[in-house]
Amino acid sequence: MRVNGIRRLLVVNTLVGLSGILSIDDLLAFLAQQMAGLARISSGQQVHEKHLRK
């Protein structure tokens, strides 16, 4: 995608009809949300482990 400058992909259903368009920006926003969730889990686990060590 980067080499050819493609920023959007068509999403088709099983009948080969257009279901939507996925953009790089959509994908990056989704990944950012997922990473933020993982960061919250990780920081919560660190707090939990500190309490267990006391």
* pLDDT tens, residue by residue, 1-54: 779 999 999 999 999 899 999 999 999 999 999 999 888 888 777 777 777 776
Q: What is the DSSP letter of 31?
A: H
CB 37 within 8 A of CB 21: no
pLDDT of residue 18: 96
pLDDT of residue 28: 93
b/e per residue 17-49 (b: at least 16 CB within 10 A) = eeeeeeeeeeeeeeeeeeeeeeeeeeeeeeeee
